[in-house]
Amino acid sequence: MIANSVFSLLLIYLYATLRRTHGCCISTQTDPTPEKPKRIMHFKSKGDEYYTPSNAFEEIKDLIPKGVILDPFNNINEPKSLHSQSFLKDLGREVVDSVYNPDTDENNFMDNDGFAWDVCVSNPPFSCKKDILRKLFSLDKPFMVLLPITTICCSYYIEMTRNINCQIIVPKKRYNFNYHLDSKRNCSFDCVWICYKCELECTNGVMGGSM
């Protein structure tokens, strides 16, 4: 089920804007389109290099499916981008030691074959989110990715998300990301966790509707 009317989408925005005391999980439906994901570099610009704060992972730690985690969106030239793997390991999870090298293109996520990991948990570069989502759906493995809430209103997302269960977790409050040049910057927009094949129990604010 997916809330696809204008009214329903506005309600989703209100969930995030009001900074609810408790997070919520929203069910949607998905259907990957036949279009193949483009081959891309992880970072198109320095504007992509905002890294996930530890509290983002702490908030979902009990919701992450069991198994080995892949957190592929990092950069060997940016040490702060590797912190998220450390945060996940600190939560007691096994994480694939995969570091992207933009100089050699080693460990480019677009080459990933889906082996050696069970669930992808990451904060992708936002400028590449369309192609990354398409790649993730094509792998057909569980994932939880942190993206701007406006992503769920994009035509490509709506097209990708038909007839297969997806879920959305609205954080308790807006995350402030770690910028690559300094410690933290206030974020001007809300983000949500887009989840696929995670089999989350939807409680405390489930929204639904029909296509």
Beta-carbon neighbour count of residue 78 at 10 Å?
A: 17
Domains of the chain: 6-196 (3.40.50)
Beta-carbon neighbour count of residue 48 at 10 Å?
A: 19
| Predicted pLDDT of residue 22 | 47
| Predicted pLDDT of residue 6 | 39
Q: pLDDT 10s per residue in the chain (211 long)?
A: 334 433 444 445 544 444 444 455 666 554 444 455 444 545 444 455 677 888 999 999 999 999 999 999 988 888 878 889 999 999 999 999 889 998 899 999 999 999 999 999 999 988 899 999 999 999 999 999 999 999 999 999 999 998 888 999 999 888 887 665 455 556 667 899 999 999 888 765 333 322 2
| Predicted pLDDT of residue 75 | 85
